[in-house]
Amino acid sequence: MEGVSTEGIYLGSAVCATLAPALYVWVWERRGGGHLLWLWAVSTLALQGQLYMWGFHGVFGVLAVCCTLCVYCLTIRDVNEVLYMGGKSVLITGCDTGFGHALAKELCHRGVRVFAGVLDVNSSGALELKKHGPPCLHVLQLDVTDHSQVDQAYRDISAAAAQVGEEGLWGLVNNAGVLGCTADAELLPFATFRSCIEVNFLSAVHLCQVFLPLLRRSKGRIVNVASMGGEVPFRCFSAYGASKAALGHFSRVLRLELADWGVKVVVIQPAGFRTSIFKDCEDSKRTIIQNLPPDICNDYGGTYICSLQDGLSKAGQQSAQDLSPVVEDMCHALTSAFPKPLYTPGQMAWLLPFLYHLWPTALSNKLITCHKFVNCDPAEEVISAPSLNAFNPKAG
């Protein structure tokens, strides 16, 4: 060690200290830790290589090998190990269409007892699910914002579990969600913010509180469906993104709190997929204009305001139509012995948040805004208030 400076010793020790968690992350990736953790591991290993090139080998190399072997032996697990799901029950919200509908059918095919919550038991999606029938699949009337319906679902599931001698509810999938209108935050009706927060966030919190006694009894799973929009700030998605960001943070806190109970909390954070959530905004152009004062309509321009929902339709058409990546990740989260804490199905679902947090703010903002949501800018073509009378009675 003669000739080695104190700074060099500190640097070598620091690299070796970070090598162990880096290798842990690498092993975690093998059992499903995610692309971001894999990149972290590669970066740390690159530092170790640089340390060797600087001449800090010998004892540092031995320490690195020891850390690697210890961490590998302590953490190696089989990512493909699947639990026996016979007799287990899962409650899924928002099963009328989209992810929830597809997941309910897939779990039913796998022999899982599914309680599919729907907003309308007479909808086409609910009627299709009813064809599978009990005991495999039970369709429940479940408006997640209606506490009386949530309480009734709890009683129904508790009674069903008692009849077959189950320990409790194995899985809760908080999938129900709304998008509402899409526009600049100043243009959005306040009711849109309230609806997104209530459905996408507060209802999930309430369902967790209601069903946790059953989930703790079975040491089961909570799967919360967030969104890439809750991690990356997309223009015109302020209400939806804020609600999903709240759900993501709640899930991370809940994961820590329930670890002692053996309940695992998983977040599904997909990219854009073509579901019925985009169809909820067909009348939002009229809704936005009818709730805007004339001066704001004049400032932004009718052309811009009317183009917002056209941009939404375009975004929906460009989204992936195949829902299987999301459904497969949901199934893995519910059935794997070692589920990931975070799943990011879909194109750019992991890379875009990674780049957003890695790059400086100015560069990240350029990355996000390089793809315009609409084809014009605010006030690019100003339409006077009288021209909007057909849409906005307040402008008269």
Question: How far apart (Å, rounded) are the C-alpha atoms in residues 164 and 5?
Answer: 69
Judge whether 251 and 209 are in contact, CB under 8 Å. no
35-53 and 351-358 helices, crossing angle to 10°: 50
Give me the catalytic one of 10, 154, 240, 304. Answer: 240
- Read out DSSP for 21-77? HHHHHHHHHHTT--HHHHHHHHHHHHHHHHHHHTT--THHHHHHHHHHHHHHHHH--
Q: Compute the C-alpha angle 94/273/265, nearest 5°.
A: 55
240 is catalytic: yes
Amino acid 24 reads Y
Give residues with Cβ within 8 angstroms of 314, minimum separation 6: none
Q: With the CA atoms of 158, 247, 189 and 289 taken in that order, what torsion angle do they form, in degrees rounded to the nearest 10?
A: -100
For residue 100 the two structure tokens come to 């929830």
Catalytic residues: 240
